[in-house]
Amino acid sequence: MPLVRQVIADLRETVAALHGELTRYGLVMWTAGNVSARVPGEDLMVIKPSGVAYDQLTADTIVVTDLHGELVEGDLSPSSDTAAHGYVYRHMPEVGGVVHTHSAYATAWAARGEPIPCVLTMMADEFGGEVPVGPFALIGDDSIGRGIVETLRDSRSPAVLMRNHGPFTIGSDARAAVKAAVMVEDVARTVHIAHQLGSPTGIGQDDIDSLYVRYRTVYGQA
Amino acid sequence: MPLVRQVIADLRETVAALHGELTRYGLVMWTAGNVSARVPGEDLMVIKPSGVAYDQLTADTIVVTDLHGELVEGDLSPSSDTAAHGYVYRHMPEVGGVVHTHSAYATAWAARGEPIPCVLTMMADEFGGEVPVGPFALIGDDSIGRGIVETLRDSRSPAVLMRNHGPFTIGSDARAAVKAAVMVEDVARTVHIAHQLGSPTGIGQDDIDSLYVRYRTVYGQA
Amino acid sequence: MPLVRQVIADLRETVAALHGELTRYGLVMWTAGNVSARVPGEDLMVIKPSGVAYDQLTADTIVVTDLHGELVEGDLSPSSDTAAHGYVYRHMPEVGGVVHTHSAYATAWAARGEPIPCVLTMMADEFGGEVPVGPFALIGDDSIGRGIVETLRDSRSPAVLMRNHGPFTIGSDARAAVKAAVMVEDVARTVHIAHQLGSPTGIGQDDIDSLYVRYRTVYGQA
Amino acid sequence: MPLVRQVIADLRETVAALHGELTRYGLVMWTAGNVSARVPGEDLMVIKPSGVAYDQLTADTIVVTDLHGELVEGDLSPSSDTAAHGYVYRHMPEVGGVVHTHSAYATAWAARGEPIPCVLTMMADEFGGEVPVGPFALIGDDSIGRGIVETLRDSRSPAVLMRNHGPFTIGSDARAAVKAAVMVEDVARTVHIAHQLGSPTGIGQDDIDSLYVRYRTVYGQA
């Protein structure tokens, strides 16, 4: 049990700090975006409290909930998106981190309900193809979480554009999910700009597959 | 009376600091935007001085005026928009803060005289529908204030796009009005981007209503 | 003479610091933009050295030249735009500061050779009408300076968009010219965005005149 | 040999610091961009390690490889683009620095496979004409490096837009290559914006030549 306590304390630090990447890259305004992390081996997650300014997020303010969003530890109410995060953790055991933003370009694709086509080598690397669109869903029950899981379960993409809402991203841990949130906005923006003056050239499926596989095995440090 | 003095001193601090949110989110250039707060229970407000750089705004530079814009306390001339702020406070007793900017995307909708359609769940949350357009009005008499009040009185939106001019926002206090100024630029930008490559899908009125009501009751800390 | 020395020393400080406004508002990349100030009552100006990074601009690096661009004081070569600045000072005695940038939106209007139409109250305030286009001119003789002066001499606007090149702005002092450089990019951007989804409504000439006159007499501190 | 050791130590410092210019100008997201420098007189280069955050890049983390990308010194794996950098150094002896980014506007032109037309005097200065497009090439062999070299060998431009991928830039040293990376994004953005509302006016070839030659001989410090 002391070990779990340390893991939770570390995750609260990590998740508090990772919100700084959302503001650094301009993905969030005011308080409208959140990061969570699964507590490995426990039916618990750590997540941003609701409506708290990013400047004031410290490890102490991050809350711990069960995977149905019930508060387990912390003084503040959890993010209003907690149910969606929990649904993802309950149904995708490989996921260790979830991020939600309303970053402008990704949300614009979501507002039109259009997937982002895979026309950049970086998209092939990171997303393995297009970034898919999830259903329109109201907040307040399982429908957002179910929409995320049903869209991502059979996709290589760690990002889904929820209709009229914005992107949700997943990763093996919270940092990977934050990276996906940064990257989905970057490709949403670049592909948007490319489309403004004409049509980008597509990339063949074989080339997409080759880039996707290579990136998984060669990029980064061992 | 000593109590009012303390309240005014605190509001000057708060209002000086809140201008930092306008620069942080890129809503203002040079000196062209201002925040005010009503002094609760008094016919007074605190507001930015005219033409002073944001770097130099301290509590000391913030001025106190009556609700017709006459200087009551402070060494500097009040914002040239003071009459409009005062008109709002005189006619909307529930308003405790007013903000004006020329943020680019909101002002672009204002220049075309087009309301921002409600195509994002975040807009349903924050604005309860479209962001409305107010009339063209010259500075120098009550016409800007009247345009703001007549447009917002029957709207859920805390933001109005004054034609050829820019957004004015209101809130229960100055911080809420600043949040609305940040949010109106964010949705103005995202909906603009969505329209550049096609047409966003609308959100049904029932869903807008449901999101709007829920946000008011569930979001944030109790 | 000691008095002139102090004036020059102060202007070098001021001009060095004002370049920080160009970087703050994203108007310049690398070393491509410059500020100068006339030394009042002397046929001298202070100006940025050529090709020096903004981080390294201190009062010591700012150079003094005559109004034909010949170095009078300083260890570095003056900006390659010095001749244009000097031409403006020689032919417009009311001008105390000149700024040149390649800020993106203003330069885009310049690349199409289109004036920015006056569709914002802020443009009426600051520019008194449209922002005019100056001729295409090569660097290396008087043609840039002449193009600036011939365009601005009969205009209310403190900014000219030199074709295929970028904006030059003037002011009663260097700070006013920097303000005009910030504002011309802001209105270039906002009006661009407004045009992307339709046509902004115009402002009548009487209203433009009224706003322009009022701004000159009422805005700011006495 | 001690001299080479000092040169390498200095280049590691320089290259670590130059990555700060990529983040300052918003050219890179997360870890997706890299700078290298040739070690003069040796068949060696220094380059960013793969997948390391820019905040964590210090001289110690920068690695040394031969010009085929084999690690010679350092604890980390070199950038996954090392082979492309090495190919350029092997085939263009005048090149002392190489930079790769996925900056948004330049990458958007690359996604459409369109060169950036020379419609700005700054482009004539820096690029001597249009910015050319290189072939689509997969990572993992010599094809990216070959595409860069074949495109740039007969061009004045220090930047090539690799199809569906992004810009690569070269320079006499790493700082010059970074400047070209900053400038190519700036002109990609400005020319994009110019095209959004119409067609920029072209610049005649004689004027382009004249500007290009003059910039090489007059700009900057001797």
Judge whether A133 and A148 are in contact, CB under 8 Å.
no
DSSP string of chain B?
A: -HHHHHHHHHHHHHHHHHHHHHHHTT---TT--EEEEEETTTTEEEEPBTT--GGG--TTT-EEEETT--EEE-SS-B-TTHHHHHHHHHH-TT--EEEE---HHHHHHHHHT-PBP--SHHHHHHHSSPBPEEPP--TTSTHHHHHHHHHHTT-S-SEEEETTTEEEEEESSHHHHHHHHHHHHHHHHHHHHHHHTS-PPP--HHHHHHHHHHHHHHSS--
The answer to whether C222 faces chain B, any CB pair under 8 Å, is yes
Angle at B94 between CA B93 and CA B95, to 5 degrees: 90
For A208, nearest residue in chain D (alpha carbons): D138
Judge whether C80 and C139 are in contact, CB under 8 Å.
yes
Please state whether A171 falls in left (phi above 0), alpha (psi between -120 and 50) or beta: beta
DSSP string of A29-90?
A: -TT--EEEEEETTTTEEEEPBTT--GGG--TTT-EEEETT--EEE-SS-B-TTHHHHHHHHH
Residues in chain A: 222
Q: Which residues contact A114 (CB under 8 A, 6 or more apart)?
A: A133, B197, B198
The answer to whether D104 faces chain A, any CB pair under 8 Å, is yes
Cα–chain center distance at A159: 6
Query: Which residue in this structure is represented by tokens 């991928």?
Result: D165
**What counts of helices (H) and strands (E) characterise chain A?**
7, 8
| A200: nearest Cα among D167, D165, D198, D199 | D165
Chains interfacing with D (3 or more CB pairs < 8 Å): A, C
Q: Are strands B71-73 and B97-100 parallel, antiparallel or unpaired?
A: unpaired
Residue C109 tokens read as 């209007």
Quote the DSSP letter at residue C76: S
Q: What is the pTM of this model?
A: 0.97
Phi, psi at A44, each rounded to 5°: -135, 155
pLDDT of residue D2: 75
| CA distances (Å), origin D118, targets A152, D191, D207 | 43, 9, 11
Do B194 and A164 make contact, defined as CB atoms within 8 angstroms? no
Judge whether D133 and D217 are in contact, CB under 8 Å.
no
Do B198 and A114 make contact, defined as CB atoms within 8 angstroms? yes
pLDDT tens by residue, chain C, 222 residues: 578 999 999 999 999 999 999 999 999 999 999 999 999 999 999 999 999 999 999 999 999 999 999 999 999 999 999 999 999 999 999 999 999 999 999 999 999 999 999 999 999 999 999 999 999 999 878 999 999 999 999 899 999 999 999 999 999 999 999 999 999 999 999 999 999 999 999 999 999 999 999 998 877 887
Judge whether B177 and B99 are in contact, CB under 8 Å.
yes
Per-residue pLDDT of D130-150, as tens digits, reads 999 999 999 878 999 999 999
Per-residue pLDDT of B85-103, as tens digits, reads 999 999 999 999 999 999 9
Residue of D190, D192, D209 best to disrupt the C interface, most CBs of C under 10 A: D190
**C40, burial (CB in 10 Å: exposed 0-12, middle 13-18, buried 19+):** exposed
For residue B219, pLDDT over 80 is answered with no
C100 as an active site residue: the answer is yes
Cα–chain center distance at C48: 13
Q: Which residues contact D184 (CB under 8 A, 6 or more apart)?
A: D103, D106, D116, D127, D131, D159, D161, D167, D169
Facing residues of B116 across strands?
B131
Judge whether A118 and A196 are in contact, CB under 8 Å.
no
Query: Which residue in this structure is represented by tokens 């996604």?
Result: D111
Q: How far is A57 from chain D (nearest CA, A)?
A: 21
For B101, nearest residue in chain C (alpha carbons): C122
List strands edge to edge, sheet with A133-134.
A71-73, A63-66, A44-47, A34-39, A97-100, A166-171, A159-162, A133-134
Phi, psi at A135, each rounded to 5°: -70, 165
pLDDT of residue D8: 97
User: How far is B211 from D97, CA to CA, in rounded Å?
Assistant: 54
Chain C residue numbers touching D201 (CB-CB < 8 A):
111-113, 136, 163-164
Residue D36 tokens read as 């290298």
| A2: nearest Cα among A47, B201, A10 | A10
Quote the DSSP letter at residue C149: H
User: How far is C18 from A119, CA to CA, in rounded Å?
Assistant: 42
Q: Which residues contact C6 (CB under 8 A, 6 or more apart)?
A: none
Phi, psi at A74, each rounded to 5°: 120, 160
pLDDT of residue D222: 72
For A218, nearest residue in chain D (alpha carbons): D80
**D2, burial (CB in 10 Å: exposed 0-12, middle 13-18, buried 19+):** exposed
| D215: nearest Cα among B75, C80, B139 | C80
Judge whether A124 and A106 are in contact, CB under 8 Å.
no
Per-residue pLDDT of A40-77, as tens digits, reads 999 999 999 999 999 999 999 999 999 999 999 999 99
User: How far is C126 from C207, CA to CA, in rounded Å?
Assistant: 13
Q: Give chain A's domains with CATH numbers.
A: 2-217 (3.40.225.10)
Q: Are strands B133-134 and B159-162 parallel, antiparallel or unpaired?
A: parallel
User: How far is D217 from D222, CA to CA, in rounded Å?
Assistant: 9
Q: How far is C139 from chain D (nearest CA, A)?
A: 8
Phi, psi at A91, each rounded to 5°: -105, -10
Per-residue pLDDT of A31-47, as tens digits, reads 999 999 999 999 999 99
SS (H, E, C) D63-120: EEEECCCCEEECCCCECCCHHHHHHHHHHCCCCCEEEECCCHHHHHHHHHCCCECCCC
User: One of C81, C85, C165, C186 is an active-site residue; which one?
Assistant: C165
pLDDT of residue B1: 54
The answer to whether A164 faces chain B, any CB pair under 8 Å, is yes
User: How far is B209 from D209, CA to CA, in rounded Å?
Assistant: 62
In this structure, how many other beta carbons lie within 10 angstroms of the beta carbon of residue A85? 32
Residue A23 tokens read as 């503001």
| CA distances (Å), origin D9, targets C34, D4, D63, D64, D98 | 34, 8, 10, 10, 18
Angle at C107 between CA C102 and CA C111, to 5 degrees: 135
Helix (H, G, I), strand (E, B) or coil at A162: strand
User: How far is A149 from A170, CA to CA, in rounded Å?
Assistant: 10
How high does pLDDT run on average in chain A? 96
pLDDT of residue D1: 55
User: One of C25, C43, C91, C102 is an active-site residue; which one?
Assistant: C102
Q: Which residues contact A70 (CB under 8 A, 6 or more apart)?
A: none
Q: Is the dihedral of CA B99, B102, B104, B109 positive or negative?
A: positive
Chain C residue numbers touching B165 (CB-CB < 8 A):
120-122
In this structure, how many other beta carbons lie within 10 angstroms of the beta carbon of residue C134? 23
Residue D75 tokens read as 């604890």
CB environment B191-208: b (16+ within 10 A), e (fewer): bbbbbbeeebeebeeebb
Do D207 and C105 make contact, defined as CB atoms within 8 angstroms? no
Q: Which residues contact C120 (CB under 8 A, 6 or more apart)?
A: B102, B107, B111, B164, B165, B166, C187, C190, C191, C203
Do D112 and A189 make contact, defined as CB atoms within 8 angstroms? no
Per-residue pLDDT of A126-178, as tens digits, reads 999 999 999 999 987 899 999 999 999 989 999 999 999 999 999 999 999 99
User: One of D25, D43, D91, D125 is an active-site residue; which one?
Assistant: D125
Chain B residue numbers touching A166 (CB-CB < 8 A):
120-122
Q: How far is C187 from chain B (nearest CA, A)?
A: 8
Residue D100 tokens read as 């790769």
Q: Which residues contact B73 (CB under 8 A, 6 or more apart)?
A: B8, B63, B64
User: What are the residue ranges in chain D where pLDDT is below 70?
Assistant: 1
Facing residues of C100 across strands?
C34, C168
